[in-house]
Amino acid sequence: MSIPTPAEAEALPAHPKLEQFVSAMRATPTPAGVSYWLIHDRYRGPEKQAEAVAQGTSNAGYGDSAHSKWGGPDEGWAGAAVDVYPIDAYGAVSADPEDYQPIAIVAAAYDLENLGALYGWDWAHVQLPDWRDYPTLPVPDGGGGNKPGIGAVLAKAVMLAFLVRQVIG
């Protein structure tokens, strides 16, 4: 297998462990009021990752996100993370935290990390615990790379400012 383009990578399955998780989620009954599970964004190319940062749905630039990792030229997968959203009867993403609990439970059963269970935010995001060990899919024109996006830089600056205020008092 050669190095896929970002468009080709978006058509690939995610890491096999994540694909097993996705199959299990599809078979998991939805909570009352939830119509279905929306499986979203296994792999995000540089443009999609920049869009996610601009929309505030990610604070990681391309290369700093589990969504931009791949197995390398010998593996047929791209994406070390997946987002799963509970969709309500009106076709909207549920805002009820309880609706995300099955995602965290199934993720734990597959030894995957759910950011909601770990940090209390981004309950839809499930990732491989070792996602940082996989390479970032290179961008054909050399753009993107492992440079942090502005959202990641700003998030780190805000966290640093918060920590400084805590220490200084």
- Residues 109, 112, 115, 119, CA torsion sign: positive
DSSP conformation class of 39: E
Q: Is residue 129 part of a domain?
A: yes
Q: Is residue 33 part of a domain?
A: yes
- In sequence order, the 6+-apart residues with CB closer than 8 A to the CB of 97 are 116, 123
Structural domain count, the chain = 1
**pTM, entire model:** 0.80
Q: For each of the chain's 169 residues, which pLDDT tens digit applies? A: 688 888 899 999 999 999 999 999 999 999 999 999 999 999 999 999 999 999 988 889 999 999 999 999 889 999 999 999 999 999 999 999 999 999 999 999 999 999 999 999 899 999 999 999 999 988 766 544 444 444 444 444 444 544 445 556 5
**Residue 64 structural domain:** 6-168
Q: Chain centroid to CA 24: how far?
A: 17
Q: Is residue 1 part of a domain?
A: no
CATH of the domain at 19: 3.30.1380.10
| One-letter identity of residue 22 | V
Q: Is residue 160 part of a domain?
A: yes
